[in-house]
């Protein structure tokens, strides 16, 4: 090998070594930055406790208060009761909520011994099987998003139609695990692509603080209840509207919830859950007038499932 060839070989070896060293250096730097910004230890701060747990088996129906519930990907569950897994629809498959039929808030849907029980003021209790495999599965629409539900039968339809005044025919649908779920179309940047829901508006879980309700009540000079805002989890011992600006993630027991967005309110908040009467004004007028109060609840997806109980400490997670 000539002197020139030896020189070229040495330079090549040095270049290779330099590249290896440089690459290793960048890798180490990347790991360090990753640890600093992605793998930093979590900071856990107590923000309150769970004071109430609510399940709404029938969308827009009567609220059921629980002492504990299983938090699943599709929302809260206690036995056969699952949050917003029953839906009232018109004959052509469009959803009906308390915005159109305020008296729906007076309809109680419970489950016992494999039976669904419907109750309402001045109505006889109606019972029918939870599972009715021979009934048709119907395609319906929830906020212009396609979803399915199994028809609960003619008796349930007649009961609801009679309770809601008989002006038109209503049917009751039940969402079941094997059915086509609802995806958050139109809000894709906020949600994971795999996120699915039953008959919920936005996401699996809604949070509200006791202090927010008290704040609004004092402004209105009228006692409001948490049930008027349809939350799943009510947090006590925290600041008013803390549920709106809280961290991206919160921990309750073994459950981890990821914050999606604050929830703007609609005319349904003006329905009195005790009377089924809609006034179309308050508390919505006050919420809209004072910009920092426009939202009262925060919606979250379930990152880690588990059991929730009244009295559980609520922690916000940050890095």
The pLDDT-based confidence of 240 (bands split at 50, 70, 90) is confident
Domain assignment present for 5: no
End-to-end CA distance of the chain: 59
Domain assignment present for 214: yes
Q: Please tell me the least confidently modeled range out of 222-226, 279-283, 284-288, 301-305.
A: 284-288
Domain assignment present for 28: no
CATH number at residue 174: 2.40.33.20
Q: What tokens does 92 get?
A: 């052509």
Rounded to 5°, angle at Cα 43 from 37 and 44: 150
User: How many beta carbons lie within 10 A of that of residue 153, not counting itself?
Assistant: 18
Provide, rounded to the nearest whole percent, the portion of the chain with pLDDT above 70: 77
Cis? peptide before 279, omega within 30° of 0? no
Mean pLDDT for 194-208 is: 81
Domain assignment present for 12: no
Beta-bridge partner residues of 43: 318
Q: Strand 68-72 relative to strand 75-78: parallel, antiparallel, unpaired?
A: antiparallel
Domain assignment present for 201: yes
Q: Which long-range contacts (CB under 8 A, 24 or more apart) does 12-20 make?
A: none
Mean pLDDT for 134-158 is: 91
Domain assignment present for 65: yes
Domain assignment present for 11: no
Domain assignment present for 171: yes
Query: Would the pLDDT of 157 be above 80?
Result: yes
> Does residue 142 contact residue 84 with C-beta atoms inside 8 Å?
no
The total number of structural domains in the chain stands at: 1
Identify the pLDDT of residue 291. Answer: 52
Domain span holding position 192: 43-318
Q: Please tell me the least confidently modeled range out of 169-178, 281-290, 291-300.
A: 291-300
Mean pLDDT for 160-167 is: 94
Kindly report, residue by residue over 59-80, the tens digit of the pLDDT.
Answer: 999 999 999 999 999 999 999 9
Mean pLDDT for 107-125 is: 97
Query: Would the pLDDT of 192 be above 90?
Result: no
Round to whole Å and give the CA distance between 83 and 62.
11
Nearest Cα to Cα of residue 141 among 80, 81, 97: 97
Round to whole Å and give the CA distance between 156 and 160.
6
Round to whole Å and give the CA distance between 28 and 195.
35
Identify the pLDDT of residue 166. Answer: 86
Kindly report, residue by residue over 4-44, the tens digit of the pLDDT.
Answer: 454 445 444 554 444 444 444 444 445 454 445 456 688 88
């Amino acid at each position: 090998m000539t002197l020139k060839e030896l020189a070229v070989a040495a330079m090549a070896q040095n270049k290779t070594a330099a590249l290896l060293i440089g690459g290793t250096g960048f890798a180490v730097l990347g790991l360090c930055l990753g640890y600093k910004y992605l793998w930093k230890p979590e900071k856990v701060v107590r923000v309150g406790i769970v004071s109430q747990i609510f399940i709404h088996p029938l969308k827009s129906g009567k609220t059921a208060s629980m002492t504990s519930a299983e938090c699943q990907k599709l929302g809260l569950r206690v036995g056969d009761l699952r949050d917003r897994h029953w839906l009232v629809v018109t004959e052509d498959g469009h959803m009906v909520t308390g915005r159109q039929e305020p008296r729906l808030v007076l309809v109680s849907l419970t489950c016992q011994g494999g039976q669904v029980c419907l109750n309402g003021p001045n109505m006889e209790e109606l019972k029918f099987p939870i599972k009715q495999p021979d009934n048709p599965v119907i395609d319906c629409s929830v906020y212009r998003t396609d979803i399915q539900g199994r028809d609960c039968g003619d008796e349930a339809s007649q009961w609801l139609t009679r309770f809601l005044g008989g002006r038109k025919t209503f049917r009751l649908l039940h969402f079941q695990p094997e059915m086509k779920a609802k995806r958050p179309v139109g809000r894709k940047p906020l949600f994971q692509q795999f996120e699915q829901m039953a008959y919920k508006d936005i996401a699996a879980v809604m949070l509200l603080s006791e202090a927010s309700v008290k704040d609004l009540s004092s402004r209105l000079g009228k006692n409001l209840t948490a049930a008027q805002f349809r939350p799943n989890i009510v947090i006590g011992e925290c600041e008013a509207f803390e549920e709106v600006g809280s961290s991206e993630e919160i921990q309750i027991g073994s459950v981890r919830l990821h914050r999606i967005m604050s929830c703007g309110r609609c005319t349904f908040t003006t329905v009195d859950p005790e009377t089924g009467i809609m006034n179309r004004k308050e508390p919505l007028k006050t919420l809209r007038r004072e910009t920092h109060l426009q939202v009262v609840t925060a919606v979250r997806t379930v990152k880690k499932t588990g059991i929730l109980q009244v009295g559980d400490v609520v922690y916000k997670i940050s890095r």
